[in-house]
A = this chain, B = another copy of it.
């Protein structure tokens, strides 16, 4: 089953091939691959080079640590994420280190870093499924997250598998074609809602 994006304009294969699976193979992630994933996140752009992203990671080969992290997802995500080899949380520091002022870009910049992590994963044959369904207060308590940081995302990391083993509801989602809004609903020109002329030429 191919999940490659059917794009209207050509895009790089790493971007077209990336998707967020629910079905993961029973195969561990090499530690050196995992290090490169976080290294890729590390080199993302950020406002004033603040690098507001932080991650907490657990490998299922450390059963207790993995169970703790799994318990920080919402129940709906725990159902499928319990079979993932590596779980992580994405957090942000909400103020700038240098002056303590609020960092308006922090969550956006975690997104930049997470996309870089995900593309590094794709290049290594791995997949990442980002989640917003986490339990921030539980994370704060279990991991001692300070007041100036906020848990925002969960990440499932591993090798995608065929969806045949998934429960019916998730299998249907996994097997459905990938859909996106048309580009003209996303990119505007002179005014909000007025499409940009991306098909014209000079």
Binding site for B on A (CB under 8 A): 5, 7-12, 14-16, 18-20, 28, 31-32, 34-36, 38-45, 47, 49, 51, 53-58, 61, 65, 104-105, 107-116, 118-120, 123, 130, 132, 143-146, 149, 152-153, 178-181, 183, 186-193, 196-202
- Beyond A55-B187, A56-B187, A112-B112, list 7 extra A-B contacts (CB 8 Å): A45-B130, A55-B186, A56-B192, A108-B152, A109-B111, A111-B112, A112-B130
Chain B residues lying within 8 Å of A107, measured Cβ to Cβ, are: 107-108, 111
Name the residue on B nearest A200 (C-beta).
Answer: B31
- Could you name 24 residue pairs across A and B whose Cβ atoms are closer than 8 Å? A7-B39, A7-B42, A9-B38, A11-B36, A15-B40, A15-B120, A18-B43, A19-B45, A31-B197, A35-B183, A42-B180, A43-B178, A47-B132, A53-B186, A56-B188, A56-B192, A58-B189, A104-B152, A105-B152, A108-B153, A110-B111, A111-B114, A143-B192, A146-B192
